[in-house]
Structures are given as C-alpha cells and as structure tokens.
Chain A
Amino acid sequence: MIRFDYKKPDSLGDCLDLLDFYQGKARIFAGGTDLLVEFRADDKKLRDVEVVIDISKLPELAFIKSDEESITIGAGTTFAEILNDTVLLKFAPFFSEACRTVGSPQIRNTGTIGGSIGTASPASDPGPPLVAMDSFLTLVSPNGRREVLLCDFMEGAYRTIIKPDELIVSVKFRKLNPDAGFSFVKLGRRKALAIARMNVAAYVETGVDGTVKDVRIVPGSCMPITRRIEEAENMLLGEKPNYELHAAIGKKVSEKMVEASGRRWSTPYKEPVIATLVKRALNQAAGVE
C-alpha cells in the first residue's frame, strides 16, 4: 500500500494553496472509495503521491443548486445526497437512478460525484447521464478556473485531462424537460454491488405531434470515451418513437462501438447486447412497449 500524508484544508482557498505547494504530488481526497482502493493496490499512477488533500467536509463543494436554466452539483456531493434530491429526481431522474445503482448503500454514503468523474472508470454509472445532458465541469487551480465539457474531460479508461494542480469543483448541466422521457439501463452480473457490464442513458422528448424533438443516447462501458452517439440520435429526430426504429438505432450504436474500439475479445458479446440495451433504454424513455 502506498503511504501518504494527510492535509485537511478549511476552505477551497487553502486547498488551492496546498495543490500549488505539492504540484502533482498531491491527490484530492473526497469519499476515498476509489482512491483508497488504488492506494492499497499500489496503483502505478499513484506512486509519486506524497499527500492527500481531504475536501470531503468543505461546504463550498457539497451542494445541489438549481436556477431557471441549469443545475449545478458540487463535486463533494455524495451519491446518497444526489439520489434523494427532489430537484434532480424531477429534472434528471436518469442521473438519480444511475447514482442509485453505484456500489452499495455504504459506498453511496461516502462516494462523491466529483470523485467518480475524476476516476473516469469506463464502467461509470453516473457518467452516461451526465454526458447525455452535455454537462460541463468547473475546474479550479491556483492559477484560475476553466470549464470543460465532461466528454472532453475524459481521455480514456481512468485517464482525464485534469492538471496536477487542479480540482473539480462542480458539474453543471442545463435542465432538460421534466415531462420528457428519461431512462437509465444497467446490465450487471448481479443486482447489487455490481460494476456495469454495460449501461445506457437515454432521453427522448417528443413534441405535440408525437415526433421526437430532442434525443440523447449515451452508452457506457463500451466506448473508449463515453459520449453521445449523434448518428444514432439523428435516426430518431423528427420520427415517432417505435420499437423497430429503436432496435435499428441500437444496431447503429453497436456499429459505432465496433468502429471506435475495434473487435476485441468481448465484442461477440457486447456488440449484440449493447444494441439491446439501447433499444430498451429508448423504449423505456419513450414509453414504448
């Protein structure tokens, strides 16, 4: 296990001073549910770490704020806080649902959304709904702040573009239509304490004429980088939701997956099954049998 020192700043400002001081030899510590597992496993990417900076109790980072147009969630907000929040249940129920399936009740009480985003596991559950909502992150460093689209933030499995002296302070997304259809479908090997074999976040908004005005489709745990599949989404825009079309869109997503990842050992399974999961997610979101 990697041994490290521990600092607990009283404010975001103090935290930034520490990041500045330690320059890459520090890691931000929120819930610790990913980080401590990695330290215990002597993870290569943590070999140079000398200190953890505990932000878990910073009030500046634990909040769920909503205004007319958008919702902002502090990076230090736990999954338990997220999944019970009434505003999120109204405007982003697929995100609430995704957070509900993370780990276990114990993990959800300490794990944070910022930590999850920072870990960038390809099997992330909150990732697909956040990407579906075109979320962006606010990153803060001693030298300033920047905003990055979530799907640009991720570089690949467990890799992000975060700089050594940066921390994620919040994730923000525009409110979608609360009356539209949301779904989060997760396939795991068991029903709890399960890492997603694959998952899908979908959003389908129809107009008065019954045709689709806005659609988001984000498959998880199957692309090198989790992103909206626009070619698939375009197939549904302007159309009326229906089973056969959803099945075809599922196939399109699986095509894009193979295009992006190539044929790997798991492809014979993943290729047909992601198509099914996308179809089901769209059926659920659109209320189609």
Chain B
Amino acid sequence: MVKIKLKMTVNNKNVETEIEPYARLLDVLRDKFGFTGVKEGCGIGECGACTIIMNGKKVNSCLILAAQAQGSEILTIEGIENPDGSMHPVQEAFLEKGAVQCGFCTPGMVISSYQLLNENPDPSDNEIKEAISGNLCRCTGYKQIINAVHMAADNMKK
C-alpha cells in the first residue's frame, strides 16, 4: 500500500505528513503532530472523547480517516485557547464552575460547548444537553458542565 501525502490545517497551522491509507485522523493528530489533548475512549464513536471540529462541524476523529481530512481545517482542544495562551471563555467557565474531575472527557466537552456557542450564543438547558449528548462523562454527572456553558455564554455576550 502506498502512503498518502496528507496536507491540512490544524489549529491555524499548515501541517504535512505521510500516512497509511487506513490511518485514523485521531491517531495522526496524536502521534504525528503531538495533539495528545484529543483522547480515545472507545474507538467506535460512542464516547466523544475524540471530538474535534473539522471544516466547521464537530465529529468523532476516531471515525474519520486521516485521508478524508485532506485539505481540511481542523480545530482541536489545543487550538481553543487564545493566541496569547490565555483560556477561552468556555475554558475559564469550566475552571470556575468545577466542571472538571478526571478530565478525560473534558477536551471533547469543551469542543462541543465551544461549537454550540458559536452557533447559538444563548442556549437553553436543553440545547446545552443536546449539544453534549454525544460526549460521555463518568465523573461529573454533567451538571457543573452545563452550568459552565451557561456562564461562558453570559461572559461571551459582554
């Protein structure tokens, strides 16, 4: 099998590498580019720990072939913070509201919340729950995460 030359933009940087045709985007992001903030929890698109934003849509990177990402724009958890390294309002809110315990689902939760607030700056409880319904958490019971998204929405409006 011939390797594929993959070119894409990750967190606003152009990147390039060679990949096997069957490689998962999740593994390429983690192993080739060091974006280990993207996690694998189940490998079958259930838990959402691997959630990233690809061409403006949130997807499970464990079910995306790296080859499919040719020419794509990818945003991972590492790209959410502000260019000066300070945390994005969503991240600040997660910190303030105690929305993190073991932290393994957190990158995926932050990505889903970030994407929600981009599309819907004033979400209801139900809209928040729906937005994170594909992100499983075993520690928090989701409540403080939902509180954090509300707080972020409020802060971002100012």
The reply to whether A and B meet directly (CB within 8 Å) is yes
| Chain A residues packing against B (C-beta within 8 Å) | 1-6, 8, 29, 31-33, 36-37, 39-40, 52, 54, 56, 80, 103-107, 109-110, 192-193
Q: Are A110 and B64 in contact (CB under 8 A)?
A: yes
Interchain nearest-CB distance for A22 vs B (Å): 14
Q: When A and B form their complex, which 7 residue pairs have the shortest distance between CB atoms, in order from nearest? A: A104-B134, A6-B21, A192-B133, A109-B57, A6-B67, A106-B60, A106-B134
Number of chain B residues close to chain A: CB under 8 A: 30
With A2-B22, A5-B1 already in contact, 13 other A-B pairs whose C-beta atoms are closer than 8 Å: A4-B21, A4-B22, A6-B21, A32-B65, A36-B45, A37-B45, A40-B44, A52-B21, A54-B67, A104-B45, A106-B51, A107-B134, A192-B130
- The interface residues of chain B lying within 8 Å CB-to-CB of A6 are 4, 21-22, 65, 67
Does B59 sit within 8 A of A, measured CB to CB?
yes
With an 8 A cutoff between CB atoms, is B29 at the interface?
no
- Some 8 contacts from A to B, beta carbons below 8 A apart, are A1-B22, A2-B22, A29-B65, A36-B62, A105-B58, A107-B60, A110-B63, A110-B64
Q: Which residues of B contact A37 (CB under 8 A)?
A: 44-45, 63
Cα A183 to Cα B20 with chains together (Å): 45
In angstroms, Cα B41 to Cα A202, docked, is 37
Contact A103 B45 (CB under 8 A): yes
A62 to B48, CA, bound (A): 25
Find out whether the CB atom of A105 lies under 8 angstroms from the CB atom of B130.
Answer: yes
Q: Give min CB distance, B53 to chain A, whole Å.
A: 10
Check A103 against B134 for contact (C-beta < 8 Å): yes
Chain B residues with CB under 8 Å of A33's CB are 45, 60, 63
Chain B minimum-CB-distance residue to A6: B21
Residues of B within 8 A of A (CB): 1-2, 4, 20-22, 24, 43-46, 48, 51, 57-60, 62-65, 67-68, 70, 112, 130-131, 133-134, 136
A2 / chain B contacts, CB cutoff of 8 Å = 22
Least CB separation from B23: chain A residue: A6
Which chain A residues border B136 with CB–CB below 8 Å? 193
Assess whether A36 is in contact with B133, with CB atoms less than 8 Å apart. no
B1 and A54 within 8 A (CB): no
Report Cα–Cα, A14/B146, bound state, in Å: 47
A99 to B134, CA, bound (A): 15
B residues within 8 A CB of A192?
A: 130, 133-134
Q: Which residues of A contact B68 (CB under 8 A)?
A: 32, 54, 56
| B21 adjacent to A5 (CB under 8 Å) | yes
Which A-chain residue is minimally distant from B134 (CB atoms)? A104
Interchain CB contact under 8 A, B133 and A193: yes
CB distance from B32 to the nearest CB of A (A): 17
Closest-by-CB residue of B relative to A35 is B63
Q: Does the CB pair A109–B65 fall under 8 Å? A: no
B140 to nearest A CB, angstroms? Answer: 16
Residue of B nearest to A39 (CB): B22
Residues of A within 8 A of B112 (CB): 105
Q: Is the beta-carbon distance between A3 and B48 smaller than 8 angstroms?
A: no
Chain B residues near A52 (CB-CB < 8 A): 21, 65
